[in-house]
Amino acid sequence: MLLDSTIDELLTIRYADLQRFSQASPRLRRFLNETEYDVATGSYTRNGQPVPDAEIKQILELEQQRITRQFEDATTEYLDGDITVEEWERRIIDEQKTAGIIAVLFALGGIAFLMSNRNRGVILRGVGDRLRASGKGVSGFGTLLSNGDRSPKRLKAYVRYKARDIRPTFNSVAHEGRKLAGYNEGRRFLDPSVVKHCESCPGYERREWVPIDEIVPVGVDCECAGRCKCWVQYRFNLNREGPLRAIRNTNSLNQQFFN
Ligand SMILES: [Zn+2]
Ligand SMILES: [Zn+2]
């Protein structure tokens, strides 16, 4: 019930709500204020210079740490007996929603693009589905807790695990953004410098160009949750029918890279 209403709120979100959510991350607001986002390429520039990919990854890392702290605070309060298990669940699900919205805004260059895009429902529904899957786990864990399993160690490990969701959410929203921009093919590569990948990543490698829907965004459905250096490349291929064929400027869609 709580989860359903949380997701409904997400799907009907308004500008003012997004502004409120973006307050949760001063780091993101600062970043969006000082950069420009290019819809066609899905990339950021600052003073005309491309923002390095390492900076994007660093922000995601710091956001994940911030969310982890929020989760841990709620968990400590629960373990200290200051809040009930229901309140704990609500706090975690609320924080997950906030983290999801922050990931959306970060992946798509801020509120304006999201609100002006008539396909935003597709993106928000995708985030809602992720939230639903993850939130069900939270409720299940809450039930375990109320049945007497209060192992603080396990609970803390669990919330740290949940906080990792921001990276795959960011990557899957960015992937949707590429589709909305008109790209129709992708390739995905494993980090060649790494010997031991997580169990799932090697299965997602696509060395040849494939339809964009066959590309699994980095971190989605995988054990490392995108802590690897797998990377995805997108292009527009006129000879392949894509999700969007009515594209005004195909030149801008050639050979764009996204990690
Ligand atoms: Zn992986
Ligand atoms: Zn990987």
Q: 228-256, pLDDT tens digit by residue?
A: 889 999 998 888 875 554 444 444 444 33
Q: Are both 123 and 26 inside the same structural domain?
A: yes
Q: How far is the CA of 111 from the centre of ligand 2 (A)?
A: 29
Q: Are both 105 and 52 inside the same structural domain?
A: yes
Say yes or no to pLDDT of 82 above 50.
Answer: yes
Displacement of CA 145 from its chain's centroid (Å): 28
The single-letter DSSP state of residue 147 is: T
Q: Are both 89 and 165 inside the same structural domain?
A: yes
Over range 51-58, report the average pLDDT. Answer: 92
Over range 31-44, report the average pLDDT. Answer: 89
Quick one: pLDDT at residue 246?
44
Quick one: pLDDT at residue 5?
75
* R_g over Cα of the chain: 19
Q: Are both 155 and 37 inside the same structural domain?
A: yes
| Nearest ligand to the CA atom of 259 | 2
| Nearest ligand to the CA atom of 190 | 2
Q: Are both 96 and 215 inside the same structural domain?
A: no
Q: Are both 63 and 120 inside the same structural domain?
A: yes
Among candidate residues 118, 147, 171, the one where a domain is terminated: 171
| Nearest ligand to the CA atom of 223 | 1
Say yes or no to pLDDT of 10 above 90.
Answer: no
Q: Are 104 and 95 in contact (CB under 8 A)?
A: no
Model-level pTM? 0.84
Q: Which long-range contacts (CB under 8 A, 24 or more apart) does 43-50 make?
A: 43/256, 43/258, 44/109
Helix 85-107 vs helix 26-34: crossing angle, to nearest 10: 10
Over range 196-200, report the average pLDDT. Answer: 91
Q: How far is the CA of 259 from the centre of ligand 1 (A)?
A: 14
Quick one: pLDDT at residue 250?
44
Q: How far is the CA of 84 from the centre of ligand 1 (A)?
A: 35
Distances 127 to 96, 103, 254 between C-alpha atoms, Å: 10, 9, 27
Range of the domain at 214: 182-258
Read off the pLDDT of residues 249-258 as tens digits, 9 standing for 90 and up.
444 444 333 3
Q: How far is the CA of 219 from the centre of ligand 1 (A)?
A: 6
Find the length of the chain.
259
| Nearest ligand to the CA atom of 191 | 2
Residue 101: both structure tokens together = 């919205």
Over range 133-157, report the average pLDDT. Answer: 77
Q: How far is the CA of 91 from the centre of ligand 1 (A)?
A: 28
Confidence of residue 153 (pLDDT cuts 50, 70, 90): confident
Q: Are both 166 and 91 inside the same structural domain?
A: yes
Residues in CB range of 179: below 8 A, 6 or more apart: 212, 213, 243, 244
Residues in CB range of 194: below 8 A, 6 or more apart: 228, 229
| Nearest ligand to the CA atom of 188 | 2
Q: Are both 43 and 142 inside the same structural domain?
A: yes
Q: Are both 11 and 118 inside the same structural domain?
A: yes
Quick one: pLDDT at residue 255?
37
Quick one: pLDDT at residue 202?
95
Cα dihedral sign, 176-181-185-187: negative
Say yes or no to pLDDT of 42 above 90.
Answer: no
Say yes or no to pLDDT of 92 above 80.
Answer: yes
Q: Are both 68 and 120 inside the same structural domain?
A: yes
Say yes or no to pLDDT of 3 above 80.
Answer: no
Residue 176 in domain: no
Q: How far is the CA of 117 from the centre of ligand 1 (A)?
A: 31
Q: Are both 158 and 206 inside the same structural domain?
A: no
Highest mean predicted confidence (pLDDT) among 107-111, 134-138, 159-163, 198-202: 198-202
| Nearest ligand to the CA atom of 199 | 1
Q: How far is the CA of 199 from the centre of ligand 1 (A)?
A: 7
Q: How far is the CA of 205 from the centre of ligand 2 (A)?
A: 9
Q: How far is the CA of 255 from the centre of ligand 2 (A)?
A: 21
Q: Are both 38 and 162 inside the same structural domain?
A: yes
Phi, psi of 185 (to 5 degrees): -135, 155
Query: What is the residue whose two structure tokens read 């527009």?
Result: 236
- Domain count along the chain: 2
Among candidate residues 123, 148, 171, the one where a domain is terminated: 171
Q: How far is the CA of 166 from the centre of ligand 2 (A)?
A: 15
Phi, psi of 55 (to 5 degrees): -70, -40
Confidence of residue 194 (pLDDT cuts 50, 70, 90): confident
Closest CA relative to residue 126, chosen from 105, 106, 100, 108: 100
Residue 177 in domain: no
Phi, psi of 14 (to 5 degrees): -110, 170
Confidence of residue 215 (pLDDT cuts 50, 70, 90): very high
Closest CA relative to residue 109, chosen from 47, 179, 29: 29
Strand ranges of the sheet holding 49-50, from the earlier edge strand across to the other edge: 36-38, 43-46, 49-50
Residue 219 in domain: yes
Say yes or no to pLDDT of 45 above 90.
Answer: yes
Q: How far is the CA of 209 from the centre of ligand 2 (A)?
A: 18
| Nearest ligand to the CA atom of 231 | 2
Among candidate residues 171, 200, 219, the one where a domain is terminated: 171
Q: Are 104 and 13 in contact (CB under 8 A)?
A: no
